């Protein structure tokens, strides 16, 4: 079985691999339902979706009639004003066919000007607090991409006591000395405050470049099962982080199978194995 851990201060015991529902952006309901079978097979109990993930919220909605109590359900908004965020939350709840979500996140909050809008008067943060007060959401988080995001997350946590953060974490990214230092500082802050840390882009081989896009991911992913296992175990071997799964439903079973075989006592030379894969960073 996939190992579990407390998701920060929420009290929820989440599988350390969270279902990254961007994988459902452009699939049929039938394919989505087959994906649900995979999640149930591996005991995954945490879904992370976003309003901007195409049809993903619509694909998850039918699951909630029977399985709402089996999943910690998270969604996100990229709206930066109170009105925009509030309106999008109502739409997300309707699409997800639920009265409330467990976690609502400010998505891709990287740009300093957008940060000022979201955190200022009439900004999205006011909608977030009101939604929590009304019971429409239980917990609040912030997400982002790029090399500056560990620093921006620290800034966000200094402004407001968020319950979770989400950011890239893989071997290639951590070879950037500044990013690695900022990630470590953010992780220490989160551990001190009991803030959940979610990671993305674990399966990144590198940018597609001129290659044909043969997967649903916007980057070229690792595909060989042994390579996927190395990358998944490398992430899970760092205590205190969760791994959001890949944005391709056909690779998802390989990620979950790898996660189910993780044993921190028997990982061996993970750094040596993952270095040999020759992965490249998406963000520089």
Q: What is the CATH number of the domain that holds 269?
A: 3.20.20.100
Q: What is the pLDDT of residue 139?
A: 99
CB distance 230 to 198 below 8 Å: no
Token pair 């979500």 is at which residue?
Answer: 101
Q: What is the pLDDT of residue 9?
A: 98
Residue range(s) defining the domain that contains residue 233: 4-275
For the record, the structure tokens of 230 come out as 């190395």
Task: Provide the domain count of the chain.
Answer: 1
Does residue 283 sit within a domain? no
For the record, the structure tokens of 275 come out as 């270095």
Does residue 280 sit within a domain? no
Does residue 37 sit within a domain? yes
CB distance 137 to 108 below 8 Å: no
CB distance 57 to 281 below 8 Å: no
Residue ranges with strand state E in 130-195: 137-143, 164-168
User: Using the 8-state DSSP alphabet, how is residue 162 labeled?
Assistant: -
**Tens digits of pLDDT across the chain (284 residues):** 899 999 999 999 999 999 999 999 999 999 999 999 999 999 999 999 999 999 999 999 999 999 999 999 999 999 999 999 999 999 999 999 999 999 999 999 999 999 999 999 999 999 999 999 999 999 999 999 999 999 999 999 999 999 999 999 999 999 999 999 999 999 999 999 999 999 999 999 999 999 999 999 999 999 999 999 999 999 999 999 999 999 999 999 999 999 999 998 888 889 899 999 999 999 98
Q: What is the pLDDT of residue 202?
A: 96
Does residue 282 sit within a domain? no
Does residue 118 sit within a domain? yes
Q: What is the pLDDT of residue 76?
A: 98
Does residue 284 sit within a domain? no
Token pair 């996100």 is at which residue?
Answer: 76
Does residue 175 sit within a domain? yes
Does residue 210 sit within a domain? yes
């Amino acid at each position: 079985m996939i190992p579990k851990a407390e998701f920060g201060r929420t009290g929820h015991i989440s599988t350390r691999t969270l279902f990254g529902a961007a994988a459902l952006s452009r699939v049929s309901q039938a394919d989505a339902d087959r994906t649900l079978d995979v999640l149930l097979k591996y005991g995954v109990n945490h879904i992370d979706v976003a309003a901007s993930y195409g049809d993903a919220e619509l694909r998850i909605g039918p699951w909630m009639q029977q399985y709402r109590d089996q999943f910690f359900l998270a969604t996100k908004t990229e709206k930066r004003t109170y009105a925009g965020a509030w309106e999008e939350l109502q739409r997300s709840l309707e699409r997800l066919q639920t009265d409330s979500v467990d976690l609502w996140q400010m998505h891709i909050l990287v740009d300093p000007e957008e940060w000022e809008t979201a955190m200022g008067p009439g900004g999205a943060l006011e909608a977030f607090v009101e939604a929590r007060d009304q019971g429409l959401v239980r917990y609040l988080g912030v997400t982002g991409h790029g090399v500056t995001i560990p620093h921006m997350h620290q800034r966000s946590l200094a402004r407001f006591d968020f319950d979770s953060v989400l950011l890239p974490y893989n071997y290639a990214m951590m070879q950037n000395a500044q990013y690695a230092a900022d990630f470590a500082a953010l992780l220490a802050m989160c551990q001190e405050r009991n803030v959940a840390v979610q990671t993305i882009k674990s399966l990144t081989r590198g940018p597609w470049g001129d290659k044909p896009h043969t997967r649903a991911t916007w980057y070229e992913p690792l595909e060989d099962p042994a390579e996927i296992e190395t990358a998944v175990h490398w992430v899970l071997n760092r205590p205190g982080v969760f791994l959001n799964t890949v944005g391709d439903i056909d690779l998802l079973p390989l990620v979950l199978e790898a996660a189910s075989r993780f044993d921190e006592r028997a990982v061996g030379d993970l750094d040596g194995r993952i270095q040999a894969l020759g992965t490249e960073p998406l963000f520089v």
